[in-house]
Structure 1
Amino acid sequence: MKKIIIMGAGGHGQVVADALKQMKGAEPVAFVDENNELHGKKIMGIPVPGGSTAIKGIPHDGIVVALGDNALRKRIFNELHEAGENLFSVIHPSAIIAADVKIGDGCMILAGAVINTQAEIKDNTIINTNSTIEHHNRIGPHAHIAPGSTLGGEVVVGEEAMVGIGATVLPRTSIGEKSILGGGSTAIKNIPGGATAAGVPAYILP
């Protein structure tokens, strides 16, 4: 049984903990969180011994960075990788994933997600609850596909990009690096890097 530390004890971290509890062959042994008020407590029956400095004192086989902020998650992921830590991918057993999908290190694929053939989910990317990733997508690294999103075939989502709750991305459309597609929006054409777009159809916000 692999012992996994979850970095981040907030709402997203708790969703990841629930998925991890339901996986076979792995178990959450601790949360680590920089919020001093949580130290010494238990959340979902899982201890919170301290912040990141507590990691060395916790026997573990891997860590998952369960933080929603893409830039922060990327920084911590890279620091842990450089320190030689194993970044563990959490996959909820209810997710439907084609056999040839490529999944990188430290990903979080949550309940009800569907990922179809020839897709690639790169390192440290969140595929959140009930999202659909169609065939031949390229997602991430360090991206976040929020709950209920639908991505058509051959979509590309760049590094640190965010696709908001319930958003739709039409086939062969790209969402640029560090860009945001707002919740409930529909992208019918490419969103450039660093932009924020919203609406149906989505347009670039000033």
Structure 2
Amino acid sequence: MLNQFLTAYDEVIVATGDNDLREYKLSILTLLTIPIATIVHPTAVISPFTEVGTGCTILANAVININAANGQGCIINNGAIVEHDCIIGDLVNISPHAAIAGHTRIGRKSFIGIGASIIDGIVIGKGVIIGAGAAVIHDIPSYTVVAGEPARSIK
């Protein structure tokens, strides 16, 4: 029944900010061989020399600069900036107005809070949560929650 409904469309998108739920729904679509869309708002600016994975949603006024690579199922929210040479893992959610400086790596299923700033060359592990407005100036290991200026582990 679900397969019949979904095949009525050329492509579908998973529109949830919850990384785990988005991963689950994308995996079902993949198993059902339903084509998955990538959506880019017309005001977003994406370098032609960057990679955007399948199933990504790139919203209004987002900027993704040269040589960046976004994995599958990512959300790059309103006004977010992903600078040059960044590597964004699968299922990452970058909130509105977050700024990711160049040469930064963000691991799979991480969440970058609204207005967070990450300086150049930082490595963020998998499953990291960065709080709203945090200023990240050091690498963050996987499955850590950080907040504050500068960002410090809170969990």
TM above 0.5: yes
Higher-helix-fraction structure:
1
Q: Is 2:102 aligned against 1:140?
A: no
Deviation at 1:165, TM superposition (A): 0.1
Question: 1:165 pairs with 103, 109, 114, which one?
Answer: 114
In the other structure, the counterpart of 1:40 is none
Q: When the two structures are superposed, what TM-score results if normalisation uses the length of structure 2?
A: 0.96
Residues of 2 paired with 1:111 and 1:197: CA distance?
Answer: 27
Question: 1:81 pairs with 20, 27, 30, which one?
Answer: 30
Instruction: List alignment gaps of at least 5 residues for structure 1.
Output: 1-52
Residues of 2 paired with 1:89 and 1:57: CA distance?
Answer: 19
In the other structure, the counterpart of 1:197 is 146
Q: When the two structures are superposed, what TM-score results if normalisation uses the length of structure 1?
A: 0.73
- Superposed CA RMSD in Å reads 1.1
In the other structure, the counterpart of 2:76 is 127
Q: Is 2:94 aligned against 1:154?
A: no
Q: Displaced runs of 4+ in structure 1, greater than 6 A?
A: none
Alignment of 1:14-29 (within 5 A): none
Deviation at 1:57, TM superposition (A): 2.8
Asked if the contact 2:13/2:36 (under 8 Å) is kept, the reply is yes
Q: Is 2:97 aligned against 1:97?
A: no
Deviation at 1:185, TM superposition (A): 0.3
Identity %: 33
Residues of 2 paired with 1:54 and 1:108: CA distance?
Answer: 22
Secondary structure of the residue aligned to 2:13 is strand
Instruction: List alignment gaps of at least 5 residues for structure 2.
Output: none
The amino acid across from 1:185 in the alignment is A
More moved, 56-65 vs 147-156: 56-65
In the other structure, the counterpart of 2:128 is 179
Residues of 1 paired with 2:22 and 2:5: CA distance?
Answer: 22
Deviation at 1:54, TM superposition (A): 4.5
Residues of 2 paired with 1:126 and 1:145: CA distance?
Answer: 6
The amino acid across from 1:93 in the alignment is P
The amino acid across from 2:82 in the alignment is I
Secondary structure of the residue aligned to 1:78 is helix
Secondary structure of the residue aligned to 1:197 is strand
Residues of 1 paired with 2:106 and 2:34: CA distance?
Answer: 26
Residues of 2 paired with 1:87 and 1:159: CA distance?
Answer: 19
Deviation at 1:56, TM superposition (A): 1.7
Deviation at 1:117, TM superposition (A): 0.2
What is the number of residues matched between the two proteins?
A: 154
In the other structure, the counterpart of 1:61 is 10
Residues of 2 paired with 1:183 and 1:142: CA distance?
Answer: 19
Deviation at 1:174, TM superposition (A): 1.5
Larger C-alpha radius of gyration, 1 or 2? 1
